[in-house]
Amino acid sequence: MRIQAWSDGGGTQSTGIAALIYTGQLKPPDVAIIVDTEREASQTWEYHEKITKPKLLEVGVVVHRVSKSKYATVDLYGGKEKDTLLIPAFTNQSGKIGKLPTFCSNEWKERVVRRFCNELYPNAEGFDLWLGISRDEADRMRTGTGKWQYKHPLVDDKRWMNRQDCLKLVRSLGWPDPPRSRCYMCPNQGPREWQDLETNWPEDFAKAMAFEAEIQKRDPNVFLRDESGSQGDCMSGLCFV
């Protein structure tokens, strides 16, 4: 028995998948999961609770909100010595501004989803993990190994949908535009997203600044925003799908 497991990222592409399920264009998965990283931006949960969750319930789909801390084996720091910061923070330790690798999306989301699914279906032969990757992000499509294989509902079965197609479908249902899913302190936010956080979600912005101060106690060379404006969107992980 192969289990169809949807990893709902809470962003535009995942909302597109939700709309496909809601309209009957996509057969519902066996299980739907959205991971609570416990640092998710408030607007992600506001949209999920008001729009996605109730709409999917109308067609019998329950989205399991799974806490990261219950299934993740690491939090902010990992590695053999537990001294490797897992988020892609900026650093000027070398004298030039660089960026740390992105480990958080794998540790806090994908591995959490896998562990939850293994717990829920201990006798499954395998899992097809649905990811919200659209046509314009086709370079991010992945192939699995072993009992874990990946599916991309937005491009599989000749749908070939891009991000704008997702928005068009969502709007056709009268749903508001979904936010881009992200953690409030994500260094991969661009200047507009930081400004939106500061202006419209001041509590999240305050938490992000407190978070930065906390990690700087351990390493004063790391920071969340590059004031030169070089920060980009997170395209290396699953945080925005």
Cβ-proximal residues to 166 (8 Å cutoff; 6+ apart), any chain: 12, 13, 15, 16, 19, 134, 154
Q: What is the pLDDT of residues 187-232, one digit of tens each?
A: 999 999 999 999 999 999 999 999 999 999 999 999 999 866 544 4
Q: How far is CA 26 from CA 3, 18, 60, 67, 171, in A?
A: 15, 9, 13, 27, 18
Q: What is the pLDDT of residues 116-170, one digit of tens each?
A: 999 999 999 999 999 999 998 888 888 888 899 999 999 988 889 999 999 999 9
Looking at the predicted structure, is the pLDDT value of residue 111 above 70? yes
Q: What is the pLDDT of residues 3-29, one digit of tens each?
A: 999 999 999 999 999 999 999 999 999
* pTM, 2 dp: 0.90
Looking at the predicted structure, is the pLDDT value of residue 52 above 60? yes
Query: How would residue 237 be classed by pLDDT, with cut points 50, 70 and 90?
Result: very low
What rounded mean pLDDT belongs to the chain?
Answer: 92
Using CA of residue 39, residue 43, residue 46, residue 52, what is the dihedral sign? Answer: negative
Q: Which range among 35-49, 58-72, 126-140 shows the weakest confidence by mean pLDDT?
A: 126-140
Cβ-proximal residues to 85 (8 Å cutoff; 6+ apart), any chain: 76, 77, 100, 215, 219, 222
Of the candidates 109, 151, 106, which has an alpha carbon nearest to the alpha carbon of residue 2?
151
- Do 23 and 54 meet the contact criterion of CB atoms below 8 Å apart? no
Using CA of residue 97, residue 98, residue 103, residue 109, what is the dihedral sign? Answer: positive
Backbone angles phi, psi at 90, to 5 degrees: -80, 150
Q: Quick one: pLDDT at residue 239?
A: 54
Q: Hey, what amino acid is at 228?
A: S
DSSP string covering 10-25, please? SSHHHHHHHHHHHTTS
Of the candidates 74, 39, 81, 90, which has an alpha carbon nearest to the alpha carbon of residue 219?
90
The DSSP code for 86 is -
In sequence order, the β-bridge partners of residue 126 are 2
Report domain extents, the chain: 2-79+102-180
d(CA 241, CA 234): 10
Count CA within 13 A, CB hemisphere, residue 41.
28
Looking at the predicted structure, is the pLDDT value of residue 233 above 50? no
Q: Quick one: pLDDT at residue 234?
A: 45
Looking at the predicted structure, is the pLDDT value of residue 64 above 90? yes
d(CA 152, CA 130): 6
Q: Quick one: pLDDT at residue 187?
A: 96
Top-level class of domain 2-79+102-180:
alpha beta
CA terminus-to-terminus distance, the chain: 27
- The helix/strand/coil state of 167 is helix
Looking at the predicted structure, is the pLDDT value of residue 241 above 80? no
Q: Quick one: pLDDT at residue 145?
A: 81
Q: Quick one: pLDDT at residue 1?
A: 83
Q: Quick one: pLDDT at residue 215?
A: 97
Q: Dig out the tokens for 192 from the structure.
A: 């507009």
Q: Dig out the tokens for 72 from the structure.
A: 């993740």
